[in-house]
Chain A
Amino acid sequence: MGRAGFDDATRATVFRFLQEAQGLATLDALNAEFRKAVGALGFTGAVYIRLSADGRALPPRPVFGEGAPEGWVEHYFARNYARYDTAIPMSFQSREPFTWSEAAGRGMEKETGRLFGEAFEWWGADVLICPVRGINGGVSIVDLAMQKDRKLDEVERSTAHALASLYAVVGEGFLDRPDCRNDLEKPLSWREAECVYWVCLGKSDDEIGAILSISKKTANHHVEAAKTKLGVASRASLAWRAFALGLVQPPLF
C-alpha cells in the first residue's frame, strides 16, 4: 500500500494532530493546531462549513476556521452564487475530496464560470474541499486553501481528508456543547439581535440601516457590539456563531 511520502517533520506534525485533536480544550486551540497540521502539508487556510443537518439544507456559510477573504461570503450570498455552485452538489455526492478546479469543470451555466472565476480571484488560491458525513446523514465540508495550479497526489488528498474529518468532528463537538449555547456574559440587545439577523442574510450596514430605519453608523455600531459580545472578528463568523447559539434561525437559499 502507498504510505505517505512525507518527511519526518511533516509526518510528526500531522500525526500529532490526529492523536491529540480530541483532547483539545477549546475551539481556538483546535483551529490553531489544525492550521499547523494542514500548514505542514502546504495548505494556507481552513474553514468549516455545514451544508445540511437534521434533514435541512443550510446556507453554506463558514462556521469556524479562518481563511476566507474578508467580504467574500457577503459577496457570494449577494450574488446568490449558491444556486450555481457545483461544489455543493458534489459535496453531497462524493465521499472523496475534490478541488474548486474540478468543481468548476462540472459547471454548464455561465454563472458557475463567473462564480469560480471570482472565487479564484478573491482567494488567490485553489481550494481542496473535504466532505465530512454526519452520523444523522448531515453533510459538512472543510475547505483547505492551497496554491493555485497545485496538483495533489492521492496520499496528500487522503491525509488532508483525514485531518479535516477530525477537525470537523471535534469542532462540531465544541459547538454542540451546552456551555456554548445561549449563556452569553452579556446577551444581545433586541436591536443588536435584529441587526445580526440581517447580517445572516448578507446585508451590509447600509442596507440594514435602510431596513430598520436607522443610520448606517448606528447599524454598524450594533453589529460591532454583537461581534464583541459573541467573541468573533468577522461578519461571517458573527452569522454562524449566532446560528450555533440559537439566536437566529438560518434562512434557506
Chain B
Amino acid sequence: MIHVVTHAQRHVYAQQLTAMHRMRREVFVETRGWKLQTREDGGEYDRGDDDKAIYFMMLDRDGGLQVSVRVRPVTDWSILLDEMPGCVEGDVSALRRPDVWEMARHLAGQQGRSVGEAKQRAAEFRIAMLEAALRKGVTQLIGSVDVGLLAHGIRAWLDLKPLGLPVVYPEGGAAVGYEIPVSEDLIERLKRAHGVTRPSAFELEVESATPWMTPAGLEASFRGPAAYSEAFHA
C-alpha cells in the first residue's frame, strides 16, 4: 500500500516523515555530497518541504519507511524550474502551471525480498503516484534524473521524455530534466504491464481517523482484520 501524505495527515506520519528527512540527509548530503540544508533533528529539508508538499510513502508491515518521494505544485517554486533552469530547453515559464507537479527527493530502499518483488512494488508505487496525481487534476509530472538513470526512467515510466540537454552538477555527475504526461492511458498501460488490478494509493481521511491509528495499523487494516488485530496488540 502506498500512503499519500498531505499537510492534513502529517501528524499521523510524523515518525515516518522524520525518518524520511534523515534518510534524505544520508543519501543526498552524506553519500552524494550535495550542498543541502540540514536541521538539528538530523534531517535534510529544502524550500519544497512546506504545506504544499505531498509525500508518497511505501511502508513495511511495521510502519517503517521503505520508499518515498515528494511531489509539489510548481506554481510558486520548483527545483527544476528555479534552481536548474538550464535543464529545460525553451520557455521555462510554460511549465509554471497548477496542473504541473514536480517529483523530487526520491528514496528507494529495500522494497521486497527478491528482485521480482522489488520491481513489482516499484511499479505499484509509480501507478499510485499517477493515480493520485490524476485525481488532483495534474496533467504533467516533471523532475530531474541522473543521466546514468535516464534509460531506466524511460523503461519504468514508459512516457518519460527529456525536457532538455543534460546539465553538469558542480559536485560531479549530470542531470536531465524530464516530463511525464499523466493520463488514464499511461496508468492502464502500466497496470497491464505489471498485473496491477486494484488502486495502490491510500490517502487517510483524517477526520475519521482515531488518535491511535498509526501507519503500521493502517497497513495492517488494509490487509484484513486478523492482521490488524495482531499489529494493534503487538
Chain A: residues with CB nearer than 8 A to chain B? 1-4, 6, 11, 14-15, 18-19, 22, 95-96, 131-137, 154-155, 157-159, 161-162, 165-166, 168-169
- A154 adjacent to B162 (CB under 8 Å): no
**Knowing A135-B119, A158-B147, A158-B174 touch, does A1 contact B152 (C-beta < 8 A)?**
no
Question: Cα distance A165–B166 when bound, in Å?
Answer: 12
A159: chain B residues at CB < 8 Å are 165-166
Cβ 8 A contact of B165, one of A134, A157, A162, A165: A162
Q: Which residues of B have CB within 8 Å of A6?
A: 165
In contact, B165 and A15 (Cβ under 8 angstroms): yes
Cα(A95)–Cα(B146), bound, Å? 10
Contacts of A137 in B (CB 8 A): 115
Query: Is A1 within 8 A of B147, CB to CB?
Result: no
Interface residues of B in 99-144 (CB under 8 A from A): 115, 119
Q: Is the CB of B168 within 8 A of A166?
A: no
Q: In the complex where A1-B168, A2-B168, A3-B86 touch, is A166 in contact with B147 (Cβ < 8 A)?
A: no
Q: Which residues of A contact B152 (CB under 8 A)?
A: 133-135
Known: A11-B89, A161-B147. A155 touches B168 (CB 8 A): yes
| Band of interface residues on B | 20 to 34
Q: Contacts of A19 on B, CB cut-off 8 Å?
A: 161-162
- A158: chain B residues at CB < 8 Å are 147, 166, 168, 174
Nearest Cβ on chain A to B144's Cβ, whole angstroms: 10
Report if B222 contacts A (CB, 8 A). no
Given contacts A1-B86, A1-B170, A162-B176, contact A133 B151 (CB under 8 A): yes
- Could you give 13 example pairs across A and B, Cβ below 8 Å? A1-B175, A2-B86, A18-B164, A22-B154, A95-B148, A134-B155, A135-B156, A137-B115, A154-B174, A155-B174, A158-B174, A166-B154, A166-B162
Tell me the bound Cα distance from A169 to B154 in angstroms: 8
A residues near B234, Cβ cutoff 8 Å = none
* Docked pose: A149 CA to B149 CA in angstroms: 28
In the complex, whether B77 has a CB less than 8 A from a CB of chain A is no
The yes or no answer to B27 lying at the interface (CB within 8 A) is no
Q: Is B19 an interface residue (CB 8 A)?
A: no
Checking A3, A15, A166 against B150 with a beta-carbon cut-off of 8 angstroms, the contacting residue is A166
Contact with A along B11-37 (1 / 0, CB 8 A): 000000000000000000000000000
Contact indicator A161/B149 (Cβ below 8 Å): no
Query: A166 vs B153: C-alpha distance in the bound complex, in angstroms?
Result: 10
Most B CB contacts (10 A, CB to CB) among A134, A136, A162, A169 go to A162
Known: A95-B148, A135-B155, A159-B165. 8 other contacts (CB 8 A): A1-B169, A19-B162, A133-B151, A135-B152, A135-B156, A158-B147, A162-B166, A169-B155
When A133-B152, A166-B154 are in contact, do A15 and B174 touch as well, CB less than 8 Å?
no
Q: Bound complex: CA of A8 vs CA of B156, how far in Å?
A: 31
> Is B216 an interface residue, CB under 8 A from the partner?
no
Write the B159-199 contact mask toward A (1 if CB under 8 angstroms, else 0): 00110111111100111100000000000000000000000
Q: In the bound complex, do residue B168 and residue A154 qualify as a contact, i.e. CB atoms below 8 Å apart?
A: yes
Which residues of A lie under 8 Å from residue B149 when comparing CB positions?
95, 133
Beta-carbon contact of A4 and B167 below 8 Å: yes
Alpha-carbon separation in the docked complex, A47 to B185 (Å) = 33
Q: With contacts A133-B152, A137-B115, A161-B148 known, is A4 near B165, CB below 8 A? A: yes
What is the bound-complex CA distance between A188 and B106, given in angstroms?
49
B143 to chain A, nearest CB (A): 15
Task: Tell me the nearest residue of chain B to A17, going by C-beta.
Answer: B162
Question: Which residues of chain B are within 8 angstroms of A4 by Cβ–Cβ distance?
Answer: 165-167
Q: Which residues of the other chain, A, contact B231 by a CB distance below 8 angstroms?
A: none
B84 CB-CB contact with A under 8 Å: yes
- Give, as a whole number of angstroms, the nearest-CB distance from A99 to chain B: 16
Closest to B151 in A: A165
A15 and chain B: residue at smallest CB distance: B89
Closest residue of A by beta carbon distance from B176: A162
Find B166's partner among A131, A155, A168, A169 (CB 8 Å cutoff). A155
User: In whole Å, how far is A124's beta carbon from the nearest beta carbon of chain B?
Assistant: 28
- Give the shortest distance, in Å, between B155 (CB) and chain A (any CB): 4
